[in-house]
Amino acid sequence: MDQIIYSIVSVKKQHRELNALLVELKGISGADLYDVFFDDITAIVSNIHRNNVVASRPNIIEYAEVIETLSQQFTLLPVRFGSVMESTDVIIKMLGRNYAEIQSNLRKVENKVEFGLKVFCDPQNAGADTATIALLSSSGENSPDSRHSVYRNYLDKKLQEHRIKERHLAQIDLVIRDITDAFAHLNPLHKFQKMITAANIINDLLLLGKDKKRELVLAVEELQKKYKDLQLLLTGPWPPYNFVDFKII
Amino acid sequence: MHDNVIDRSKEITILEVLDRVLNKGVIITGDIVISVADIDLVYLGIKLMLSSVETMEQVKSGK
């Protein structure tokens, strides 16, 4: 029977707590959960047939619930959905081969949680820019020198688009600097992404101490007061999915 | 807070869960095995990243 791996957990002197938790929890499709140990790290697994590893919404939510529940009591590395190995022995060997790197990553996320901050702009403001472009591109179309106007209008339009984009990016960089400053006292790790969509202009992934949640919420509320034309959406605390993106063999 | 804002926030949170579980976390080299709803089983090679369910559907349909 194949085994699907949910997470790799640091278990020092908490074997009894882990076993009690695993008895209560269920994996995908109600499957029992097991721990596969190597020294003080353990892979949390359940039996599954390969054909049943389906990325359906219920399966993914059940999978995420296991990781979420474990993360409330243990330091862990979430494993990407779909990681299947053919036996307990193979998993033990995998843990042994990668012990140093797993421990290094566990130390990095110990007592920390992930948050996600999404920043949205008003799509109607973006529409105003489009209207400006449209106005510029149509201007002069009916002028006497229309031969030159075609090229000139094209260049004007491209130049205007470029300027709008540059101005937009400069504004985004300004917001990112403000976010960085506003959270500096929480000493987080940041991962910023810009221009995810026209409306979702910034994604900030943060890794910070478990006890910093309240302070983070207050800092986000202050930022929201400052940027009334933007919408800030804070999600979390999450297990540290975005801060353990490495491969193990 | 307005109802549709709450609904939208819930939906975004579900999407955040899906994105994290499918796209993030430790990659264990070996077969990443996954199938999407009623679509046939798809085996991803060890070097391939699963980017999203939509991507999987595109791979399957050959787009």
Query: What confidence tens digit (pLDDT) does each residue in A201-234 have?
Result: 999 999 999 999 999 999 999 999 999 989 898 9
Domain range enclosing B50: 2-60
Instruction: Dig out the tokens for A134 from the structure.
Output: 């449209």
Closest residue in chain A to residue B8, using alpha carbons only: A233
Residue B33: pLDDT band (50, 70, 90) is low
* Interchain contact B11–A (C-beta under 8 A): no
pLDDT of residue B52: 39
Return the higher-pLDDT residue of A174 and A152. A174
pLDDT digits (tens, 9 = 90+) for A59-82: 888 999 999 999 999 999 999 998
Mean pLDDT of A22-39: 93
Return the higher-pLDDT residue of A197 and A6. A6
B27 DSSP 8-state letter: E
pLDDT of residue B48: 34
- The distance of A185 to chain B (nearest Cα, Å) reads 26
Return the higher-pLDDT residue of B32 and A185. A185
Residue B37: pLDDT band (50, 70, 90) is low
- The distance of B17 to chain A (nearest Cα, Å) reads 7
Nearest to A241 by CA among A132, A127, A113, A128: A113
pLDDT of residue B4: 55
pLDDT of residue A127: 43
- The distance of A83 to chain B (nearest Cα, Å) reads 5
DSSP string, B1-13: --HHHHHHHHHHH
Mean pLDDT of B14-21: 84
Among the ranges given (A61-75, A91-105, A201-215, B5-19), the one the predictor scored with the smallest mean pLDDT: B5-19
Residue B53: pLDDT band (50, 70, 90) is very low
Residue A31: pLDDT band (50, 70, 90) is very high
Closest residue in chain B to residue A43, using alpha carbons only: B28
Rounded CA-CA distance A172/B46 in Å is 36
ipTM over 0.85: no
Return the higher-pLDDT residue of A125 and A190. A190
pLDDT of residue B54: 44
* Interchain contact B36–A (C-beta under 8 A): yes
Interface test with A, best of B9, B22, B26, B34 (most A CBs within 10 A): B26
Which chain B residues are within 8 Å of A53, Cβ to Cβ? Answer: 33-35, 41
DSSP string, chain A: -EEEEEEEEE-SS-HHHHHHHHHH---GGG---EEEEETTEEEEEEEE-GGG-B--HHHHHHHHHHHHHHHTTS-EEEB-TTBEES-HHHHHHHHHHTHHHHHHHHHHHTTEEEEEEEEEE-HHHHHHHHHHHHHHHHTTTTSTTHHHHHHHHHHHHHHHHHHHHHHHHHHHHHHHHHHHHHHGGG--EEEEEE-SSSSEEEEEEEEEEGGGHHHHHHHHHHHHHH-TTEEEEEEEEE-SGGG---EE-
Rounded CA-CA distance B61/A248 in Å is 30
How many domains does chain B divide into? 1
Q: Specify the pTM.
A: 0.78
Closest residue in chain A to residue B27, using alpha carbons only: A247
Residue with tokens 């990112």: A176
Interface test with A, best of B28, B38, B54, B56 (most A CBs within 10 A): B28
Among the ranges given (A11-25, A32-46, A73-87, A116-130), the one the predictor scored with the smallest mean pLDDT: A116-130
User: Is the model's pLDDT at B44 over the cut of 80?
Assistant: no
